[in-house]
Structure 1
Amino acid sequence: MEQLKVIQVRKRKQTKEPVRQPDTYDKVVEKAFWFVVGFSIALMLCCLTFGQTLYI
């Protein structure tokens, strides 16, 4: 029977890298993004609704 080799696994040392906090620019970009997404969806729904009423 063959013997199995034992491999030692060392734990990585924890790096004390600070987690980057979102700054005000990131928050403004996120708000603008969601505004554009919401506005696009609302515009599409309005176009569908009013387009249907014009062709009835």
Structure 2
Amino acid sequence: MEQLKVINIQRREIDAVDISRPVRQPDTCDKYDKAMGKLFWFVIGFSIALMICCVAFGQTLYA
């Protein structure tokens, strides 16, 4: 009969984790990109709406 190997399963020591490197911070550029995208589409929409209002007001003024 073969002899079974005993495997030692324990939690690793906290020293095994490399804590000398700083923890990587999440990228905050994504929030900036979303805000700029919303601002861009707001400006485009506002410009189109203003142009439509100016054309409509101009036609009523000269009608």
Alignment TM-score, normalising by the size of structure 1 = 0.60
1:31 to 2:38 alignment: yes
Deviation at 1:45, TM superposition (A): 0.1
Match of 1:54 in 2: 61
Deviation at 1:25, TM superposition (A): 0.1
| Structure 1 unaligned blocks of 5 or more | 1-21
CA distance, structure 1, for counterparts of residue 58 and residue 41 of structure 2: 25
Choose 1 or 2 for highest CA Rg.
Answer: 2
Alignment TM-score, normalising by the size of structure 2 = 0.54
CA distance, structure 2, for counterparts of residue 35 and residue 23 of structure 1: 18
Deviation at 1:48, TM superposition (A): 0.2
Match of 1:40 in 2: 47
Matched AA of 1:41? I
Misfit runs of 4+, over 3 Å? none
